[in-house]
Chains A and B, each alone.
Chain A
Amino acid sequence: DIQMTQSPSSLSASVGDRVTITCRASQNINTHLNWFQQKSGKAPKLLIFGSSNLHAGVPSRYSGSGTGTDFTLTISSLQFEDFGTYYCQQSYANPYTFGQGTKLDI
């Protein structure tokens, strides 16, 4: 299985901050990388697919980049509603695997 490693595991930031979360794959996954946000007690919500493509309805302050093994999710100006846990997931090869998550506190 492809191992996905996120950093940091947790992060505290303030409204208006620029936040970056990184995700590293154990092998080349091209741009087959998705990002999800999950709030406590809720289902994950797709933010970005294909490394850099914003899913419909997701605010433009979210952006993603990377190819190969190293990827980043950036929130350009943190809003209060952005708290939660963020997961990366590779969709290059079955079984699709997730990172361990990054908990973002505002």
Chain B
Amino acid sequence: QVQLQESGPGLVKPSETLSLTCSVSGASIGTDDFYWNWFRQPPGKGLEFMGNIYYNGKTYYNPSLESHFTISLDTSKNQFSLRLNSVTAADTAVYYCARLGHTIDWYYSDFWGQGTLVTVSS
């Protein structure tokens, strides 16, 4: 069974850098043929896809978002990370990591972390 767990600070000051990590068990992020996603959900709002990283390190970032974040892999720890620079109050959200599962025809996020709330406030 694949399991994901986000970790990171719950509170960040405006203009600082936010780093979140997603620890994965039950799958090898550096070898298994999957994409690894980050989503976020502002309080009381809907889900937003931020971007993902492939097992070979190739990244995709949602161009609809201001591109002040990066996603990276740490295969030695079986983790992937999200780094947001110069955060503002608009980055306050629950952040989720998820695996993008697939069949030959379709893609779908089948395993999710429990989410971590990040508040941007001075």
Contact = CB atoms under 8 A, between A and B. Distances in A.
Interface of A: 1, 31-32, 34, 36, 38, 42-46, 49-50, 53, 55, 87, 89, 91, 94-101
Residue of B48, B98, B110 with most partner-chain A CB within 10 A = B110
A46 B109 CA distance: 7
Interface string B99-113: 000010111111011
Given A43-B96, A98-B49, A100-B46, A91 B115 contact: no
A43 B105 contact: no
Contacts of B103: 49-50
Given A44-B47, A97-B49, A98-B46, A32 B115 contact: no
Interface residues of B, number: 21
B46 A91 contact: no
Interface in B68-122: 96, 98, 103, 105-110, 112-115
B108 A91 contact: yes
22 contacts: A1-B64, A31-B106, A32-B107, A34-B106, A34-B108, A36-B109, A42-B115, A44-B96, A44-B112, A46-B109, A46-B110, A50-B103, A53-B106, A55-B108, A87-B46, A89-B109, A94-B62, A95-B62, A96-B107, A97-B49, A99-B46, A101-B46
B63 interface: yes
A96 B46 contact: no
Nearest to A1: B64
Given A46-B110, A101-B47, 4 more contacts: A43-B113, A43-B115, A95-B64, A98-B48
Interface of B: 46-49, 60, 62-64, 96, 98, 103, 105-110, 112-115
Contacts of A95: 49, 60, 62-64
